[in-house]
């Protein structure tokens, strides 16, 4: 079966105060040595890609992948392009301030057909507090330019549950999003990671109940506007689902390339070193982690409206999931159920997914 491939580009022009991802300040002197190492890693992944009948999706995430020049982007992805299937999805995460007409044209030429835009908010004062380098005007210019150059498959990331954002701000952000005629939205609440600048400054999170109210309001509003709430944080119109992320949620193996990337091979997870200097000197330095396949498949599948396919699950793990989940379907009646051959949660079930998963962990202990 063809694969999903993720490439991590760790460079950013500045570090946002909430960020705890694997990222590093852009330093032009480090890009070329990084490129040399990642090319070797890609080269050694090609035999796996050939054996698996090529790539269904390619995803450049970061960091800020569009910080790379047109030539650097081409050097990075050109060995993989011949392996993309006819109906491939090739996504690049972009920050609006680093997108211009020339870069979009170069991306289009490389075969990019989906852009995930790190918008976070449409309000300049909130963007400033988030340490972002773009403005509302830059977002609108970037979207216009993407569409003008034939990249219509655009996803936007928005943040909610920010301590410095009230209900009116959130409403404004969703209204601005709806005006733009974009097919996909991912929403994220602010997580105050210990290692982020906000975490170190002991910023207080929004009250949990308020956060839940905001989430419910976003879900209700987007559904009223024709969006399919197909995964806890993701909404799509007319089937514009993220094919790449579906590979993670549907329990498939995937390749992760670059410092800070993770992948999964024959059900076992691997993690590349997050340290850029180590990566440049010694390569990916992978560590492997045994995973609990049957439980992970449930944990990921129940995030989606498609659920966990019973037949595929039984073939893969020799477990009758309908039978196994029966006591929990009784406990969470109407919220966890079998529908169309899959174990699924409804909207309320997905809101209490953590409790459901704790019960599944007991079942699998």
**Binding-residue pattern over the window 92 to 121 for ligand SF4, x denoting contact by CB under 6 A:** ---x----------------------x---
Q: What is the DSSP letter of 56?
A: E
Q: Report yes or no: 156 and 185 within 8 Å, Cβ to Cβ.
A: yes
Q: How far is the CB of 182 from ligand SF4 (least distance, A)?
A: 19
The Cα-based distances of 262 to 9, 268, 284 in angstroms read: 13, 11, 10
Q: How far is the CB of 96 from ligand SF4 (least distance, A)?
A: 11
Please identify, using beta-carbon distances, which residue of 25 and 268 lies nearer to ligand SF4.
25
Structure tokens of 256? 């992760």
- Choosing from 6, 9, 23, 308, the residue that interacts with ligand SF4 (CB under 6 A) is 23
Decide the pairing of beta strands 114-120 and 84-94: parallel
Question: Taking CB under 6 A as the rule, does residue 260 contact ligand SF4?
Answer: no
Nearest-angstrom CA–CA distance, 252 and 233: 19
141: Cβ contacts below 8 Å, ≥ 6 apart: 96
Contacts with ligand SF4: how many residues (CB under 6 A)?
11
Question: Taking CB under 6 A as the rule, does residue 63 contact ligand SF4?
Answer: yes
Q: How far is the CB of 18 from ligand SF4 (least distance, A)?
A: 7
Closest to 347 in 3D by CA, of 211, 208, 210, 212: 212
150, exposed or middle or buried, with CB in 10 Å at 0-12, 13-18, 19+?
exposed
Question: Taking CB under 6 A as the rule, does residue 19 contact ligand SF4?
Answer: yes
Question: Taking CB under 6 A as the rule, does residue 16 contact ligand SF4?
Answer: yes
What count of other Cβ atoms lies within 10 Å of the Cβ of residue 143? 21
Decide the pairing of beta strands 228-231 and 234-236: antiparallel
Please identify, using beta-carbon distances, which residue of 62 and 349 lies nearer to ligand SF4.
62
Please identify, using beta-carbon distances, which residue of 73 and 325 lies nearer to ligand SF4.
73
Q: Which residues pair with 287 in a beta bridge?
A: 271
Question: Taking CB under 6 A as the rule, does residue 186 contact ligand SF4?
Answer: no
Structure tokens of 300? 């990921």
Q: How far is the CB of 116 from ligand SF4 (least distance, A)?
A: 11
- Choosing from 3, 4, 37, 64, the residue that interacts with ligand SF4 (CB under 6 A) is 64
Contact positions vs ligand SF4 (CB under 6 A): 12, 15-16, 19, 21, 23, 62-64, 95, 118
């Amino acid at each position: 079966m063809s694969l999903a491939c993720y490439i991590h580009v760790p460079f950013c022009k500045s570090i946002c105060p909430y960020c705890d991802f694997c990222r590093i300040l852009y330093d032009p002197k480090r890009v070329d040595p990084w490129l040399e190492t990642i090319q070797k890693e890609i080269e050694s992944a090609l035999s796996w890609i050939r054996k698996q009948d090529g790539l269904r999706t390619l995803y450049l995430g970061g960091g800020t992948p569009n910080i790379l020049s047109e030539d650097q982007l081409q050097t990075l992805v050109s060995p993989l392009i011949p392996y993309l299937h006819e109906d491939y999805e090739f996504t690049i995460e972009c920050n609006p301030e680093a997108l211009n007409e020339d870069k979009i044209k170069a991306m289009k030429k490389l075969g990019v057909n989906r852009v995930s835009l790190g918008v976070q908010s449409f309000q300049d004062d909130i963007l400033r507090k988030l340490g972002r380098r773009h403005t509302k005007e830059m977002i609108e210019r970037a979207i216009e330019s993407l569409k003008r150059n034939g990249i219509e498959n655009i996803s936007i990331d928005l943040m909610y549950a920010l301590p410095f954002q009230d209900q009116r701000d959130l409403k404004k952000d969703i209204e601005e999003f709806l005006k733009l005629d974009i097919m996909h939205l991912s929403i994220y609440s602010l997580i105050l990671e210990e290692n982020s600048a906000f975490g170190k400054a002991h910023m207080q999170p929004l009250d949990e109940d308020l956060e839940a109210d905001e989430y419910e309001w976003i879900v209700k509003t987007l559904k009223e506007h024709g969006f399919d709430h197909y995964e806890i944080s993701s909404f799509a119109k007319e089937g514009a689902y993220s094919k790449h992320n579906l590979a993670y949620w549907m329990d498939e193996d995937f390749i992760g390339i670059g410092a800070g990337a993770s992948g999964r091979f024959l059900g076992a997870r691997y993690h590349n070193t997050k340290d850029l200097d180590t990566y440049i000197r010694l390569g990916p330095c992978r560590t492997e982690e045994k995973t609990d396949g049957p439980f992970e498949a449930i944990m990921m599948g129940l995030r989606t409206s498609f659920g966990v396919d019973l037949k595929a699950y039984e073939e893969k793990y020799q477990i009758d999931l309908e039978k196994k989940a029966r006591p929990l379907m009784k406990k969470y009646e109407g919220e966890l159920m079998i529908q169309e051959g899959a174990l699924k949660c409804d909207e309320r079930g997905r809101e209490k997914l953590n409790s459901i998963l704790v019960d599944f962990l007991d079942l699998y202990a």
